[in-house]
Amino acid sequence: MPSTGTIVLIVVLLVMIAAIVALYFMGKKAQAKKDEQDAQMAAVAQTVSMLIIDKKRLRIKDSGLPQIVIDQTPKYMRWTKLPVVKAKVGPKVMTLIADEAIFADIPVKKEVKATVSGIYITGVKGLRGPLEKVEEKKGFRAKIRAKYDSLNAELKKEQAKDAKKSKK
């Protein structure tokens, strides 16, 4: 007869396995839904020339988007910050939402050709040449690693010089 501790461990293990299986199928379903939405957005996308005035991460209430858009967003999304871009498209100044993947690539106070689907920017290209790549911010660990690598390279150079001197 197994002890109560073993039974509890088996029950916890079964619950965890059930949760992993459920998350797997939910993830598959969500991925299929996202692929369908991406296909719809690509179908209605158009290329527009625009002058980027400003870009920020703002809450949807503070973004300056139309009230209809704010009302249609789910309640849990109203507290998250969105990548918002203010741009001059033709004679109009518009507030648009940028894709998270391209938000860092959008230059401020420059003219770009953007792929726009409704109020959503899905891609940007430089109007006059390629866009400058923005350097990603390094994390603490990456900075320490770079410093370690440079100091280690200097140490090896000094050791090589010392080895040459000792041979002479």
Query: Domain of 62: which CATH number?
Result: 2.40.50.660
- DSSP code at position 133: P
Q: Per the structure, how many domains does the chain have?
A: 2
Ranges of the chain with pLDDT below 50: none
Domain-embedded: residue 141: no
pLDDT on residue 151: 92
pLDDT on residue 69: 87
pLDDT on residue 163: 85
Domain-embedded: residue 17: yes
**48, 120: one domain:** yes
pLDDT on residue 134: 67
pLDDT on residue 96: 93
**78, 90: one domain:** yes
pLDDT on residue 115: 92
pLDDT on residue 1: 67
Domain-embedded: residue 52: yes
Neighbouring-strand partners of residue 81? 59
**52, 63: one domain:** yes
pLDDT on residue 65: 87
**26, 52: one domain:** no
Q: Which domain holds residue 96?
A: 44-126
Domain-embedded: residue 161: no
Q: Exposed, middle or buried, 88 (CB in 10 Å: 0-12/13-18/19+)?
A: middle
